[in-house]
Structure 1
């Protein structure tokens, strides 16, 4: 479903602009934290929208709130908030890959040690106990490398998905419309 200018719409109906922000936050709108419920609502709706369409957010206000011109502050606050969230996800992705590289080095060293010990056991000892110990070392070696493999194969996908979603929300066109009470 497309809204104005071909953008997928997310609509919020608020009594005033302050409902969009964390009430414990001492900063004015532009620097304020978006309330967790408001963020969750916007993100959940954005996840349902087509991935290839730009997003628009329409805020219907019954009263302008504390300032006479809420539009630019609300729009800037929302897009800045989601831009910061996108940057946070990008940082988390960089940290995950840095941790993954370290885990890979540790895991590779652990795998090499286990395979070496298994080889030494094979060369020096025979019998069922030696065979069980040898296979156990091989299994332990592969388990040690499992976490780095998991990081590089799977763990980065949710971070990239969230970063893209937050970036789309940061680029959203936010419009504020005053509605009669």
Structure 2
């Protein structure tokens, strides 16, 4: 990791371009999957970069690819891969809020039912047992609503953070340098 031309730079040293891709993937280039190790390396370094600086990725290749294999377009493969990851995070965010709305409706109904039962069952009775029963139903009702509240208040933040990082990586300037 370094800083060049006002861009935070991530540098990779590879034997050849094929090392960047998942070897089990039948689509070896533009449509292919980046190897999990390469993805993790780039993402880990990108997390440490300044949040406001544009990103550059420099790939140093020790040797050119074999003549019998087509040369992969590494720049397009990397930016497309991270653009796809950003779209996946956008979809995950949509699903979280859709599921959150459903879970909130269920939780709210559960809370209302617990509060109503608490009121109904303790209407005619007094004493410590009735009070314990009433408070227990109230606590259960609030526990039922906790997960939906957690989804809307906290769970979306890491998804948004990852999406922003993947979008930055998708917009990165990728440079290939033969060694």
Q: TM class by shorter-chain length?
A: over 0.9
| Residue of structure 2 equivalent to 1:46 | 46
Greater helix percent: which structure? 1
The alignment partner of 2:174 has SS state of strand
Q: How many angstroms apart in 2 are the aligned matches of 1:173 and 1:129?
A: 69
Unaligned runs of 5+ in 2: none
Compute the displacement of 1:121 (Å): 2.2
Q: CA RMSD in A?
A: 1.6
Q: What is the number of equivalent residue pairs in this alignment? A: 178
Find runs of 4+ consecutive structure 1 residues off by over 6 angstroms: none
Compute the displacement of 1:125 (Å): 1.4
Compute the displacement of 1:69 (Å): 8.4
Deviation readout 1:60-118 (Å, 9 max, x if unpaired):
00112146985x71000000000000000010010001011001000000000101111
| Residue of structure 2 equivalent to 1:116 | 116
- Pairing 1:1-181 to 2, within 5 Å after superposition: 3-66=3-66, 70=71, 73-179=73-179
Unaligned runs of 5+ in 1: none
The alignment partner of 1:123 has SS state of coil
Q: How many angstroms apart in 2 are the aligned matches of 1:64 and 1:87?
A: 32
Compute the displacement of 1:6 (Å): 1.1
Segment drifting more, 168-177 vs 20-29: 20-29
Q: How many angstroms apart in 2 are the aligned matches of 1:48 and 1:69?
A: 34
Deviation readout 1:34-83 (Å, 9 max, x if unpaired):
0000000000000000000110000000112146985x710000000000
Compute the displacement of 1:21 (Å): 0.4
TM-score (norm 1): 0.94
Segment drifting more, 2-11 vs 55-64: 2-11
